[in-house]
Structure 1
Amino acid sequence: MTQQPDRQPAAEGAGPADAAPPMMAVRDLRRSFGTGANAVHALRGVSFEARRGELTALKGRSGSGKTTLLNLAGGLDTPSGGTVELDGTDLSTLDEDGLLALRRDRIGFVFQSFGLIPVLTAAENVGVPLRMRKVPARQREERVRTLLALVGLAEHAEQRPGELSGGQQQRVALARALANEPALIIADEPTGQLDSETGRSIMRLLRAVVRSEGVTALVATHDPQLMELADRVVELRDGRIVEPAAADR
């Protein structure tokens, strides 16, 4: 049975689309490290769904299982039990080549440390995923221009990461994550190195982009103010989803 996250306000435009299959479905997901008495159970039967155009925030203390869940959702790790489905595809049915193609074509990653290539300009960083897919130059350049404009950095295309503020670098990272028109964006503490106001600005941008691009986002964060901007919040504690109190249901 699917466990319910602790808050599920209706997204803008909610209606018939809610009846559509979820973009991501996590079913009884379990992940253990080690065996026997020394085994560490990072996830203990986690289940939830996320829909297209929806931002789901993961909350929980360090060690609660957030990063493990992100790694499994992104096809970077293999569960001990349960499944992750992305747009109807069960990740456990894919071999290494299939997972590589999935991460390249269907998932965008945003990291706390930005992960930009220092010697490349903002435009070149955004274009890296498109080069990997051998997208023709003219099409690639048009997509890069569109994305930099989307995140408000059209005038900074030729600047390198070291010439940009932290918030601007994270905007470049978000544009890069969107380059291949992914189904899912995974962000691990994307505002962790930013001041509170810049972090809130990045989260507002991420939410707006998720809705405008029709992408699903799974974001791990510690900041309660940022959780307020999510469409739903999934709280983890000791590898399990925390059920909402009866008064909150």
Structure 2
Amino acid sequence: MTENTGTRSGAALVGESADEPMVRVENLHHSYGTGAVAVHALRGASFELRRGELVALKGRSGSGKTTLLHLIGGLDRADRGRVVIDGTDLSALGENELLELRRDRIGYIFQSFGLIPILTAAENVGVPLRLRRADPRERDERVALLLALVGLADHGAQRPAELSGGQQQRVSIARALANHPALLLADEPTGQLDAQTGLAVMELLRAVVASEGVTALVATHDPQLLGLADRVLELSDGEVVEH
């Protein structure tokens, strides 16, 4: 039996309540390659993300941060272990259910911004709503609200090439919020920005978590940004430890 959200099958549900964490990662293993040349990115990683918190994930380059985000976001499947998001066990979902989960419940923010060059800022923000076939009036209202939230209310008609790096990342944050996600995953969102702009973007994420009530996991190697997080997790030798 499938719930009316379209993303959760009866087999996938493990129970959810206000006391349940938004994300539970249990004994996650993932490798690339086989045999002697295999690279073990994750070796039993386990942790939880509570609802409404901003958590920073740090680790040296190549430590597996992106791999972990991909597994949590349903972009890849683990070799062993499981990821439970808002009561839904990802390992119990088929490809179509994973697609719906990614579309409706998870927002992604990338280091490279990922904006469509020929679309305006407003059109980029509205892409997820178009894919969901939202009512045009609802879509326009949501886009306007989000552009205002990220401080770009007057830049909706500009294309990415006409915006600074910091402004492009703000557009990508607004786009990630379009479908009211429960979870935000950000992979080095300030990696292409100067220190001052990167700090402003991280402060914006902090404000967004509070205003939108989402849970956010932000991978970063910038020590200046770690102080803005509620908690800091470190990925080292394939395992996650809390600081």
| TM-score, length basis structure 1 | 0.88
Could you tell me how far 1:153 is from its partner in structure 2? 0.5
Measured on the aligned residues, the alpha-carbon RMSD in Å equals 1.3
1:136 aligns with 2:143: no
Q: CA deviation at 1:123?
A: 0.5
Match of 1:84 in 2: 83
Shift in Å at residue 35 of structure 1?
2.6
Question: Partner amino acid for 1:143?
Answer: R
Specify the alignment match of 1:9 in structure 2: none
1:106-117 equivalence runs, <5 A: 106-117=105-116
Alignment-derived partner of residue 61 in structure 1: 60
Please report how far the alpha carbon of residue 85 of structure 1 lies from its aligned counterpart in structure 2 after TM superposition.
0.6
Shift of residue 33, structure 1, vs aligned partner: 2.1
| Counterpart Cα distance in 2 of 1:138 and 1:213 | 21
Give, in whole Å, the separation in 2 of the partners of 1:242 and 1:100.
Answer: 30
- Residue correspondence of structure 1 range 6-21 to structure 2 within 5 A: 20-21=19-20
Residues 108-163 of structure 1: CA distance to partner in whole angstroms, max 9, x if unpaired? 11111111111111100000000000001000000001100111110111111111
SS of 2:221's equivalent in the other structure is coil
Q: Which structure's relative contact order is higher, taking Cα pairs within 8 Å and 6+ residues apart?
A: 1
Distance 1:45 1:216 in 2: 23
CA distance in 2, matches of 1:159, 1:146: 17
Trace 1:119-158 onto structure 2 (pairs within 5 A): 119-158=118-157
Which consecutive unaligned segments of at least 5 residues does structure 1 have?
Answer: 1-17, 245-249
Secondary structure of 1:171 counterpart: helix
Q: Secondary structure at the match of 2:56?
A: strand
Question: Residue type of the partner of 1:89?
Answer: T
**In percent, how many aligned pairs have the same letter?**
72
Q: Which moved more, 1:139-148 or 1:24-33?
A: 24-33
Instruction: Please report how far the alpha carbon of residue 34 of structure 1 lies from its aligned counterpart in structure 2 after TM superposition.
Output: 2.5
Any idea what the Cα deviations from partners look like across 1:35-80, whole Å, max 9, x if unmatched? 3333221101111111221111110111211111001001011101
Output the CA distance in 1 between the equivalents of 2:155 and 2:53.
Answer: 29
**Aligned partner of residue 116 in structure 1, secondary structure:** coil
Indicate the residue corresponding to 1:36 in structure 2: 35
How far is 1:19 from its partner? 6.7
Contact 2:184 2:215 in 1 (8 A): yes
- Cα gap change, 1:133/1:239 in structure 2, threshold over 3 Å: closer, same or farther? same
Q: Which amino acid aligns with 1:176?
A: R
What amino acid does structure 2 have at the position aligned with 1:197?
Q
> What is the TM-score of this pair, normalised by structure 2?
0.91
SS of the aligned residue for 1:131 comes to helix
2:31 partner SS: strand
Q: Which amino acid aligns with 1:85?
A: V
Which shows bigger deviation, 68-77 or 36-45? 36-45
The question of whether the paired residues in 1 share the 8 Å contact of 2:232 and 2:242 is answered with no
Question: What SS does the aligned partner of 2:154 have?
Answer: helix
Tell me if structure 1 keeps the 8 A contact 2:231–2:242: no
Report matched runs for 1:1-249 at 5 Å: 20-242=19-241
Partners of 2:241 and 2:110 in 1: CA distance:
25
- Cα offset, 1:23, TM superposition: 0.5
User: Does structure 2 conserve the Cα–Cα contact (< 8 Å) formed by 1:53 and 1:212?
Assistant: no
Cα distance in 2, alignment partners of residues 27 and 167 from structure 1: 35
